[in-house]
Amino acid sequence: QVQLVESGGGLVQAGGSLRLSCAASRNIFNSMGWYSQAPGKQRELVAVITRGGTTNYADSVKGRFTISRDNAKNLVYLQMNSLKPEDTAVYYCNVVYLGNTYWGQGTQVTVSS
């Protein structure tokens, strides 16, 4: 089993930055990802990173968000720059471990215009 704990969300003005962190309770050899869920919408992929550092981003965040991970510390980060009101959502950390999918509790990001 894997526990994921996110932190770093908050309220920021448009154009600002936030850095989200996610701590995993064990070493993750698979990809780690960040998803977002806005009110009334489905949860969707924001960014994913393999253990080797290969990344993939949703088109809406390319050039603004950067995902990274620290394998030694079981951490994954999401640096969010040039934030827009439409980025407002709950952000969830995600891993797949031994065939099971795990989610963190989520952290709220609110971007004011």
Joined together, the tokens standing for residue 72 give: 């030694």
pLDDT tens readout for residues 19-55: 999 999 998 889 999 999 999 999 999 999 999 999 9
Is beta strand 75-80 parallel, antiparallel or unpaired with respect to 4-7?
unpaired
Collapse the DSSP code of 28 into the 3-class scheme (helix H, G, I; strand E, B; otherwise coil) and give the result: coil
- Characterize 18-48 residue by residue with b for buried, 16 or more Cβ atoms within 10 angstroms of its Cβ, and e for exposed: bebbbbbeeebeebbbbbbeeeeeebeebbb
Q: What pLDDT, on the 0 to 100 scale, is given for residue 69?
A: 96
Output the CA angle 79-80-82, nearest 5 degrees: 140
pLDDT tens readout for residues 85-99: 999 999 999 999 988
Q: What pLDDT, on the 0 to 100 scale, is given for residue 26?
A: 92
- Please compute the mean of the pLDDT values over residues 54-73 and round it to a whole number: 97
